[in-house]
Structure 1
Amino acid sequence: MLNEAPNVLIGGVNLQATNFDYEVQELAELVKANGMTVVGEVFQNLERINAGTYFGVGKIDEIKGLAAEKNAEFLVLNDELTPAQMSNLDQALPDVKIMDRTGLILAIFANRAHSREAQLQVQIAQLRYRLPRLRVGGQANLMQQGGGPGFANRGSGETKLELNQRTIKHHIAQIRKELAQLDVAQATKRQQRDKQELPTVALVGYTNAGKSTTMNGLLQLFDEAPSKQVFEKDMLFATLDTSVREIHLPSHQKFLLSDTVGFVSKLPTQLIKAFRSTLAEAAQADLLVQVIDYSDPNYEQMVQVTEQTLAELDIHDIPMIYAYNKADLRPDTKFPQVNSEHDLIYSANDPASLQQLSDLITKLLFADHQVLTYLVPYADGKWVDYLNEHASVQSQDYDATGTKIVASVTPIDAQRLAQFEVTD
């Protein structure tokens, strides 16, 4: 028999923020993504959040009654609680498990992380979140007095709380060592790709905006093997792992396309720091494509969240295409529609839209390429093979002296092949 989804009350304090309704809607979607069912809402308008209990005392009494009426097991709140607020709410609501927005997102990430790197990054984020919330005898208590393997008992003067804190710090240090080794391996892979001198494009944007669908659509458009397809699902944070694929254009030009982890408003600081290495693909890209859910009435807020998060990750000054996806879900919206070389309205399920996106990517990515004519002597035939593999060859003829090739080449290849260039 399958376990039923636990019943959840969602709640929060409205400080008259203009985007509060949007945050509440998003919180409900996050709860759903974590396999829970929203059965009620509890919100309070305040000038400031209660430092001790988050809500006012009267609202807590209301929550007790509503939780009993709705048979709710959890209360999920829209903000990150302080350790004191979490402890006080635990005591005031003993029959309801308290979870804040940060804890909820961490739980989702923990369930969705598949690669070893993503799993370790989530573990660090969870441990950093727990560390200030440890308390003796509470839910966050990790171990009994006496320590575990590798931890000598430092005497009766050390409290259980101190021992638990030391255990977490040691665990974080061990995970960081393993992550450092994985970072070296990832850096080596990137260096190997850099040697191929292939330009890179990174899909970024809000979670569930359609990045993975866009990536799969582009792969299919250019007849890439089905095995290259990435996981996609209509759900927040369907995937956390960065995927990199090589795209082969009909012009013989190639580029690397990466699908990165999605963003969300109030993304926990612990996760932003933890996934910095995962998002290195975006930080080192030649072009960013911000995929935006154009069917969502809050899409402008999503653009702001994405750009704020990129700024927090120190990702600046990279050319960007604003790709407004899911236009097919907006009535009376014409698509594909190219508004500028950096702006496209499209649907990731529409081949014509994907072709327009590909054209924009190609135009921006290969803007510095030059169309040059070369005469390569037969004795240097290896360069003919090189051009056919690495450049967009437009024509190729033969005469008594060698092979004449007209090709679009990178600035680096233009220098590399300058001796064969025909200038008249």
Structure 2
Amino acid sequence: MKKEINEKILLVGCQLDEDDLRFQYSMKELEELSETAQGEVAAILSQKRDRIHPSTYIGKGKVEELAALEEEFEPDIIIFNDELSPSQIRNLSKELNARVIDRTQLILDIFAQRARSREGKLQVELAQLQYLLPRLIGQGTSLSRLGGGIGTRGPGETKLESDRRHIHRRIDDIKKQLQTIVEHRERYRERRKKNKTFQVALVGYTNAGKSTLFNRLSIAESYEENQLFATLDPMTRKMVLPSGYFTLLTDTVGFIQDLPTSLIAAFRSTLEEVKEADLLLHVVDSSNPDYHQHEETVESLLNDLGMDGLPVLTVYNKRDIRHPDFVPAGGADQVLVSAIDSDDRKRLLLKVEDIVIKQMDPYHVLVPASEGKLLSQLKNETILKKLEFLEDSQAYEVIGYHLEDHQIRGSIKKFQK
């Protein structure tokens, strides 16, 4: 396989009123995003300002400094740590020779690389087109430099600037296709609801270790890599609790600070899957010095998506390499684990089972030995705490918990003690 040649990158950030540490983390994240997109960071330029410069993002003197850095390092691409306006991109492109892109374009590019399912690819393309559209107006020849490489994967490679009507038509077409997929998923979800299956969803900041947990807690193969946005498409698999009870576990796309609004909108339908969950496992990377900020970002995005009312168990992951300053937030619904440690995973599953039981109704029945089908159902569809054969009555004493409104309620009513 031919090894991809890494593009050389200059990073540019503008620090406003946020504290130094927060700004450093944001720039570090931009560097990680650039590496995830197969880029190589040659130099970083930053400036402290009261506000963003309306026409060039950074001040005039800094633009000159950037031009000098460009001459020294000869980068292929210059990436800015915020979303640039169309006029800022235009003005900067006049002063610089390398391609100018922003954080949003970089994230969209990574999503374009990562999307595997048809829906994921359509959602990325939609977000890219919606981002591109206002940036085509009056740009003329400047966009003809879109050749290939970071920030141009996906629809950026086609010369879409020649026909804005084509973009509008494509956007409408994608929206129709996505609507069909959403309707199909809704029908599938309704079926799952009818079958009363307990649903658990993994959420968390990108690279917190959700896919690693997902692969080890379920019977699955989700892409697992120490990279930002390793998972883009949601995946649902069976997860078996210690009692033998089956639940469904969904892995989702990682959240990120300053996630482009077009992407939140595009992935809303994907995250609808999370809305249906009975429990969220919020995975937090305890080895990351900025873990607290990551927690807040995810909580705020869940809030924006109307999912703040769902029960949450916070899973502090990477216990084995946790940061020396790490202190878990207070509260009972949290657990500190390492996804690669089997004892930790057992502890996590027991904790999940306790939460599941709290959302269930208890039952105590004597089921005749002849009722084999019902006994089998109780084993598979409820959480059993006791199953004992009583010689004298030739029946099984069964104590357990079932989901409220589960159809099994009617079957066991006549055997209730």
TM-score, normalization by structure 1: 0.87
Instruction: Determine whether 1:58 maps to 2:61.
Output: yes
Taking the aligned partners of 1:376 and 1:326, their CA distance within structure 2 comes to 45
Q: Deviation per CA, 1:382-424, whole angstroms, max 9, x where unpaired? A: 323322331234214266876333131323347423532333x
Q: Deviation per CA, 1:156-196, whole angstroms, max 9, x where unpaired? A: xxxx9997332211110000111111112212222222222
Cα deviation, residue 333, structure 1: 9.5
1:306 corresponding residue in structure 2: 298
2:150 corresponding residue in structure 1: none
Contact 2:283 2:317 in 1 (8 A): yes
Cα deviation, residue 198, structure 1: 1.1
Instruction: Determine whether 1:179 maps to 2:182.
Output: no
1:280 corresponding residue in structure 2: 272
Cα deviation, residue 307, structure 1: 0.9
Contact 2:246 2:380 in 1 (8 A): no
1:17 corresponding residue in structure 2: 18
Taking the aligned partners of 2:285 and 2:134, their CA distance within structure 1 comes to 36
CA RMSD of aligned residues (A): 2.6
Sort the Cα spacing of 1:381 and 1:78 in 2 relative to 1 into closer, same or farther, 3 A: same
Contact 1:294 1:324 in 2 (8 A): yes
Sort the Cα spacing of 1:53 and 1:71 in 2 relative to 1 into closer, same or farther, 3 A: same
Which range moved further: 200-209 or 393-402? 393-402
**Is there any run of 5+ residues in structure 2 with no aligned partner, and where?**
147-158
Contact 1:76 1:98 in 2 (8 A): yes
Matches within 5 A, 1:65-214: 65-93=68-96, 95-134=97-136, 135-140=138-143, 164-214=163-213
Q: Deviation per CA, 1:234-281, whole angstroms, max 9, x where unpaired? A: 000112011111112341311111110001111000000000111112
2:416 corresponding residue in structure 1: 422
Matches within 5 A, 1:308-347: 308-330=300-322, 341-347=332-338
SS in 2 for 1:255: strand
Q: Deviation per CA, 1:113-167, whole angstroms, max 9, x where unpaired? A: 0000000000000000001100352344699xxxxxxxxxxxxxxxx99973322
Contact 1:209 1:291 in 2 (8 A): yes
2:237 to 239, 245, 265: 245
Taking the aligned partners of 2:78 and 2:160, their CA distance within structure 1 comes to 26
**Is there any run of 5+ residues in structure 1 with no aligned partner, and where?**
144-159
Cα deviation, residue 377, structure 1: 5.0
Taking the aligned partners of 2:109 and 2:298, their CA distance within structure 1 comes to 21
Q: In percent, how many aligned pairs have the same letter?
A: 36
Contact 1:247 1:255 in 2 (8 A): yes
1:412 corresponding residue in structure 2: 405
Contact 2:242 2:346 in 1 (8 A): no
Aligned residues: 398
**Counterpart amino acid of 1:304?**
E
Which range moved further: 349-358 or 122-131? 349-358
Matches within 5 A, 1:370-409: 370-376=361-367, 381-393=372-384, 394-397=386-389, 403-409=395-401
Taking the aligned partners of 1:362 and 1:307, their CA distance within structure 2 comes to 23
Q: Deviation per CA, 1:283-328, whole angstroms, max 9, x where unpaired? A: 1111111111111110000011111111121212111111111121
Sort the Cα spacing of 1:81 and 1:334 in 2 relative to 1 into closer, same or farther, 3 A: closer
Contact 2:236 2:248 in 1 (8 A): yes
TM-score, normalization by structure 2: 0.89
Taking the aligned partners of 1:330 and 1:251, their CA distance within structure 2 comes to 30
Which range moved further: 261-270 or 407-416? 407-416
